[in-house]
Amino acid sequence: MGGGGRIDTAHHESKAMKALDETAELAKAVETAVRMVDLEETLVVVTSDHSHTMTYNGYSRRGSNVLGLANKMNSSSGLPYSILSYATGPGHRSDSNHDFRLDDMDSLNYTYPSLFPMVRETHGGEDVAVFAAGPWAHLFTGNYEQNFIPHAIAYAACIGTGLQASFNSAASSPEKAQRSLPQYVFGRRGGKTPPAPANASRACSYAVL
Ligand SMILES: [Zn+2]
């Protein structure tokens, strides 16, 4: 298991350049991990437990530096706005006519502007993405509550005390196995899921052996 913990702390400080740099580093770590495993027998899941309030403000010109300013002028003050900003955080400017062209936005420690003044930026509340590859990756499609994710990983890896793929595995009935997991986690029947790929039960077979 790997984690990009500094993405979170950088966002809390509204240091968007650091947060994006840490995100790029996490992407490299994921690429390395994917190269090191056989996706025919290893499930790889990449996700986050929450978002942040950073927004990518629109209408900048193609090729603009995402860490800089949008070329469009703010209609009320005639001043440009930053492409990135936060809804909450320490970067609040009491002066609504602050001229961001005077700021050192090339600094790694530049604090991006926020709407509400907070000592630390808050987490965000929207849905986050889940990326999966390998056996049982099809379980991670659609929209679902976050607590489904560890159940699905445990199911695919045949670990833990909950439902496991080996109990009613793809070898006997892949359709039944797919339907029963959301039913088990949420206490209701899940939606229609796509058919299991040919290698769906391989990770489980290896774990059991
Ligand atoms: Zn946090």
Q: Is 8 labelled a binding residue?
A: yes
Residue 202 lies in a domain: yes
Is residue 69 one of the residues assigned to a domain? yes
* Both structure tokens of 36: 């090191």
Q: Does 158 map to a domain?
A: yes
pLDDT at residue 74 tops 70: no
CA of 199 to the centre of ligand 1 (A): 37
Residue 209 in this model has a pLDDT that exceeds 50: no
Q: Would you say 104 is a known binding-site residue? A: no
Based on the fold, state whether residues 29 and 73 are members of the same structural domain.
yes
Please report which confidence band the pLDDT of residue 160 belongs to, taking 50, 70 and 90 as the band edges.
confident
Which residue's entry shows tokens 């970067």? Answer: 91
Both tokens of residue 101?
A: 């062209």
Cα of 175 to ligand 1 centre, how many Å? 38
Given 75, 94, 125, which residue is the final one in a domain? 125
Q: CA 42 to CA 19: how far, in whole Å? A: 29
pLDDT above 90: residue 94: yes
C-alpha 52 to ligand 1 mean position (Å): 8
Structural domain boundaries, residue 63: 1-38+52-125
Residue that is last in its domain, among 105, 125, 145: 125
Looking at 91, 125, 159, the residue that finishes a domain is 125
Both tokens assigned to 30: 């994921």
Any domain includes 6: yes
User: How many angstroms separate the CA atoms of 30 and 35, rounded?
Assistant: 9
Average of per-residue pLDDT across 185-207: 53
The residue-averaged pLDDT of 60-77 equals 85
26 and 73 co-located in one domain: yes
What's the domain count of the chain?
2
Q: Is residue 44 part of a domain?
A: no
Is 95 marked as a binding-site residue? no
Q: In terms of C-beta density within 10 A (0-12 exposed, 13-18 middle, 19 or more buried), how is residue 97 classed? A: exposed
Judgement on whether residues 188 and 153 belong to the same structural domain of the protein: yes
Domain co-membership, 142 together with 121: no
| Ligand 1 centre distance from Cα of residue 26 (Å) | 16
How remote is the CA of residue 170 from the centroid of ligand 1, in Å? Answer: 38
Q: Are residues 148 and 112 in the same domain?
A: no
Residue 130, classed as helix, strand or coil, is strand
- Residues 74 and 6 both lie in one domain: yes
21 annotated among ligand-binding-site residues: no
Same domain, 66 and 169: no
pLDDT at 208: 42
From the CA of 146, how far away is ligand 1's center (Å)?
A: 16
The values of phi and psi at residue 22, to 5°, are -65, -35
Q: Is position 59 within any domain?
A: yes
Measured in angstroms, how far is the CA atom of residue 85 from the centroid of ligand 1? 17
Domain presence at residue 46: no
| Dihedral pair phi/psi, residue 45, rounded to 5° | -125, 130
